Structure 1
């Protein structure tokens, strides 16, 4: 049942004729007649007695009138409510992000965000796997990976290059590799799903196999293993930024190659009618990334 058809029924009941209802709604008499016929067809009853000069409600029309009024009032109430909330951050903000990035960057934003927007709630899913944001009804996904072709909307937020790093103790004992060949002689901590480490040399893509005594399926485990001195890790800058600042990991820069450049990207299911809560969240996130995102490269 279409609200527009119910509006036609209500207008005819109030004005007493199809032509008057058409003028009131800014429609043609033919459109009004067609919409009334559609509504009667859906309900399976005749709603009006029609003569050449006027119309009047049938018994079924009288029965349907209060239901029609309730439907129209509910529809108008919904429109008013949604319009009044259009400029405020309200409702449930559903976000997904990689585990380490979500814990170290997004979680610190949440208290102030909720304090400033009392009508807002946050549902955060932390996962290093790519999730179906449309199927799960997620407002925005934060991703740090090479993006596949997709109908989804991608919005770059900040650069996030891959970096090589290791603990000071490991580098003191094994030395600091200066070239890709030298790196091949070091223990390398592998992240599942990334069997090769990608680099660029003079505009060409080159890679080295990630292999060593330890591998893991999560960024957090690889980062922890690297801090514990198990070898060299390739992660992204924002994964290890706090460790680099604290000195628990040290950056390794090779002279003959540079790691792949990635971006922190916001993925949206559509660019149309994006909720205000999403814009508020992304603004805050971009501000933090811009303030604290001075790359050491």
Structure 2
């Protein structure tokens, strides 16, 4: 592995490749410079050096943005693999438990990022002072490869894809409502009774999935309020606007303090979800990703045991 790493550095500079990958992920050389801790001029020179070494133009440049040429699009997957291989080579020779370095880009749903990931940041960054973390908290599904994401945390049924999926923890869903809503309207007892209630749905989730034994069942829900964000649905539920189907991680605090009350149906149960880590299809998983996922998995396990 070290021989390969040294060959990479002889053929082309790994630092130059890092500028290319960072510029594509951030959309500009200025963004790449900030990520790598160098000047914009130095970033420009490194990209030019890489292009000179390869004999092709990899990026179209303007004063503010960059975009890939066809040759750049072809080279990008290999460039990422080379960076990962270089980091893997360093990791093999790094003593176990030593500090990791580099920039970790993570995307996660907003609610889970706030409750599940942010509590890890103080200890993780204290233990690894050369680790830089960029957390994108969004309910939108982001393309990992085009955005240069190292790992995505998803809480949803997985679609078929070329991404590598690693299960982290189970995450049950519950029907819930505010006490004020249930004081005005009796809680539903059967799945069919949900159609008589104000159901607070995500914009892209008009059907709620349930299971009856091993059989899956779903019901189309309707209500006067829909939202593109889980945070918005949870807030509306707390305000007493209706019933919501939310994951346990979203509403742990509200269930504990009584702000929200869980609702059990006698004929079905909400379909259970899992928390997944999705990785780009790469041969090597960078050490910074392994360290982050191990810490997150331990934290989720501790939270479930303490629940």
TM-score by length of 2: 0.68
Measure the CA separation in 2 of the matches of 1:6 and 1:113. Answer: 30
CA offset at residue 190 of structure 1? 1.4
CA offset at residue 136 of structure 1? 1.4
Residue 82 of structure 1: aligned partner:
90
Measure the CA separation in 2 of the matches of 1:224 and 1:6. Answer: 52
Q: Which runs of 5+ in 2 are unaligned?
A: 11-53, 56-85
Residue 163 of structure 1: aligned partner:
174
Q: 1:212 aligns with which of 201, 210, 223?
A: 223
Measure the CA separation in 1 of the matches of 2:230 and 2:279. Answer: 24
- 1:130 lines up with 2:130 in the alignment: no
Residue 157 of structure 2: aligned partner:
146
Residue 188 of structure 2: aligned partner:
177
CA offset at residue 4 of structure 1? 6.0
The secondary structure found in structure 2 opposite 1:148 is: coil
Measure the CA separation in 1 of the matches of 2:8 and 2:261. Answer: 68
CA RMSD, aligned part only?
A: 2.8
Residues 174 and 6 (structure 1), Cα distance of their counterparts in 2 relative to 1, 3 Å cut: closer
CA offset at residue 200 of structure 1? 1.2
Count of matched residue positions in the alignment of Structure 1 and Structure 2: 227
CA contact (8 A) 2:195 2:222 kept: no
CA contact (8 A) 1:162 1:261 kept: yes
Measure the CA separation in 1 of the matches of 2:148 and 2:87. Answer: 21
The secondary structure found in structure 2 opposite 1:151 is: coil
Residues 204 and 290 (structure 1), Cα distance of their counterparts in 2 relative to 1, 3 Å cut: same
Measure the CA separation in 2 of the matches of 1:284 and 1:5. Answer: 31
Measure the CA separation in 2 of the matches of 1:274 and 1:5. Answer: 18
CA contact (8 A) 1:86 1:275 kept: no
Pairing 1:235-274 to 2, within 5 Å after superposition? 235-270=246-281, 272-274=283-285
Residue 191 of structure 1: aligned partner:
202
CA contact (8 A) 1:166 1:233 kept: yes
Which structure has the larger Rg over C-alpha atoms?
A: 1
The secondary structure found in structure 1 opposite 2:146 is: coil
The secondary structure found in structure 1 opposite 2:290 is: helix
CA offset at residue 293 of structure 1? 2.2
Measure the CA separation in 1 of the matches of 2:217 and 2:257. Answer: 31
Residues 82 and 199 (structure 1), Cα distance of their counterparts in 2 relative to 1, 3 Å cut: same
Pairing 1:8-19 to 2, within 5 Å after superposition? none
CA offsets per residue over residues 46-86 of structure 1, 9 Å max, x none?
Answer: xxxxxxxxxxxxxxxxxxxxxxxxxxxxxxxx799835558
Residues 175 and 267 (structure 1), Cα distance of their counterparts in 2 relative to 1, 3 Å cut: same
Residues 86 and 119 (structure 1), Cα distance of their counterparts in 2 relative to 1, 3 Å cut: farther
